[in-house]
Amino acid sequence: MEKISIIDAKNYVNEKVKIGVWLTNKRSSGKIAFLQLRDGSAFFQGVVVKSNVSEETFKLAKEVKQEASLYVVGTIHEDSRSHFGYEIEIEEIEIVGESENYPITPKEHGTDFLMDHRHLWLRSKRQYAIMQIRNEMIRATYEFFNKEGFIKFDAPILTGSAPEGTTELFHTEYFDKDAYLSQSGQLYEEAGAMAYGKVFSFGPTFRAEKSKTRRHLIEFWMIEPEMAFMHQEESLEIQERYIAFLVQGVLDNCDYALTILERDKDVLKKYTKLPFPRISYDEAIKILQDSKEFPNITWGEDFGSPEETYLANQFEQPVFVLNYPKAIKPFYMKPHPTRDDVVICADLLAPEGYGEIIGGSERAVDPEYLEKQIQKAGLDSKEYQWYLDLRRYGSVPHAGFGLGLERAVTWITGESHIREAIPFPRLLNRIYP
């Protein structure tokens, strides 16, 4: 008899197997008990028929508590009524670990209660589905960038200088010096691109976001590709191919998770159609000014969530907004060749109200221009000499972008809040558990 995972049940129909599981829920009558089981790989039902098992086994089935861990031995059957398609007819039960009264019961709980019990909440079905999709997106990310000839090139988490303004920075001590937790690995990725051509980093980034929104975490994971000998238009093509690849990966490999989340697959399929529409910042301003909601927006303003949501709602696919005003973008973006007031950049806005999922740009290559921009931004140019070296020794056109993993997971899973897109979310006022 083989010890298997629930997810492999389809290969063992009518066979006797052993599975290590936890009990998530149960109901029973005098003659039959239905045990809802999970093992991490999937969820399914175990059926215990009194007349087919020992008295002791049926008693165990009736008395076992929620989240107790068990070994069950039984025969796999098809079960067309369930999401999963299979169930196990249990013959023997062995208790591995008893459970106390489990705090998360099948009734509804408030968000604060669930967040306080995040370490247990992760065991529930929806959380399982979200983590499966997150995992698939990470897997597909590696596959995509490997296939496209990128190497993974990780940026440091501890940095010695404060890149983009100081309000969102976490400060720490580095022996007798100051250090900051990384807000973005981009500048280091540029060094990587000059060394190895096409690189990407994937790691945690930290921002002391002082406001509560559904889209911002304090600690989130960012994927940051950077490409040498590449202009912005080619970068946009990589970005849209990457997004389509992520969505296709989820459609191909996460059918069960999407079903649990009741995510509409036809909606997701639209996000695999390329190209994505492109509008300029100027056009975006015009669209907003012509709307009922934002008639008073003026050229030069940055977009917040409501503006991004309105703009994205005009399209069925994600939309690129190109060339924002120079004044609201970081110092390293390439100035427009014929216009003084905008830079060569793009934000990719997701439909369905999820806002910016990618921010990217072509990078400025002229060291004198950059040095001036660094000073204008109030940064200490001594700390950026290494960065300016990248322009002094064989500078080339290059571009890159950053995608927030959890932002994208929230969108693709159709969840309403980013806190469920990461195992242990760090939020304003929450660092427990």
Q: How many CB atoms lie within 10 A of CB 283?
A: 14
Q: Tell me the window of 31-39, 123-131, 289-297, 402-410 that interacts with ligand ATP (CB under 6 A).
A: 402-410
Under the binding rule (CB under 6 A), the answer on residue 215 touching ligand ATP is yes
Of 412, 342, 359, which is closest to residue 239 (Cα–Cα)?
A: 359
Of 122, 104, 41, 170, which is closest to residue 424 (Cα–Cα)?
A: 122
- The minimum distance between CB 306 and Mg ion, in angstroms, equals 13
Which two three-digit tokens encode residue 347?
A: 């934000």
DSSP 69-99: EEEEEEEEEE-TTSSS-EEEEEEEEEEEE--
CB of 57 or CB of 205, closer to Mg ion = 205
Under the binding rule (CB under 5 A), the answer on residue 359 touching Mg ion is yes
Query: By rule CB under 6 A, what string of x and - marks binding of each residue 339-368 to ligand ATP?
Result: ----------------xxxxx---------
- The minimum distance between CB 340 and Mg ion, in angstroms, equals 22
Q: Tell me the window of 74-82, 233-241, 271-279, 358-366 that interacts with Mg ion (CB under 5 A).
A: 358-366
Q: Tell me the window of 32-40, 84-92, 207-215, 262-270 that interacts with ligand ATP (CB under 6 A).
A: 207-215
Using alpha carbons only, what angle is made at residue 195 by residues 192 and 196, rounded to the nearest 5 degrees? 80
Q: Tell me the window of 56-64, 151-159, 327-335, 353-361 that interacts with Mg ion (CB under 5 A).
A: 353-361
CB of 249 or CB of 359, closer to Mg ion = 359
Residue from 216, 334, 391, 419 touching ligand ATP (CB under 6 A): that is: 216
Give the integer Cα–Cα distance in Å for 222 and 180.
17
Q: Exposure of 392 by Cβ count < 10 A (0-12 exposed, 13-18 middle, 19+ buried)?
A: exposed
Which two three-digit tokens encode residue 356?
A: 């910016």
Describe the strand order of the beta sheet including 158-159 as a list of residue ranges.
158-159, 177-181, 171-174
Q: Tell me the window of 71-79, 275-283, 356-364, 366-374 that interacts with Mg ion (CB under 5 A).
A: 356-364
Q: Tell me the window of 20-28, 105-113, 189-197, 400-408 that interacts with ligand ATP (CB under 6 A).
A: 400-408
Under the binding rule (CB under 6 A), the answer on residue 301 touching ligand ATP is no
Of 332, 312, 352, which is closest to residue 401 (Cα–Cα)?
A: 332
Residue 249 contact, options Mg ion, ligand ATP, none, Cβ 5-8 Å cut-off depending on partner type: none
Instruction: Mark 48-57 as b/e (b = at least 16 C-beta within 10 Å).
Output: bebeebeeeb
CB of 225 or CB of 359, closer to Mg ion = 359
Q: Are 200 and 145 in contact (CB under 8 A)?
A: yes
CB of 211 or CB of 296, closer to Mg ion = 211
CB of 134 or CB of 216, closer to ligand ATP = 216
The residue assigned the tokens 């008893």 is 98
CB of 134 or CB of 215, closer to ligand ATP = 215
Number of residues that bind Mg ion (CB under 5 A): 2
Residue from 23, 37, 222, 257 touching ligand ATP (CB under 6 A): that is: 222
CB of 76 or CB of 217, closer to Mg ion = 217
Using alpha carbons only, what angle is made at residue 111 by residues 110 and 112, rounded to the nearest 5 degrees? 95
Instruction: Mark 411-427 as b/e (b = at least 16 C-beta within 10 Å).
Output: bbbbbeebbbbbeebbb
- Which residue is nearest to ligand ATP, using beta carbons? 404
Under the binding rule (CB under 6 A), the answer on residue 404 touching ligand ATP is yes
Under the binding rule (CB under 6 A), the answer on residue 220 touching ligand ATP is yes
Q: Phi and psi of 346, rounded to 5°? A: -155, 140
Chain residues binding ligand ATP by CB under 6 A are: 184, 207, 209, 215-217, 220, 222, 355-359, 402-404, 406-407
Where along the sequence are the contacts to Mg ion (CB under 5 A)? Answer: 356, 359
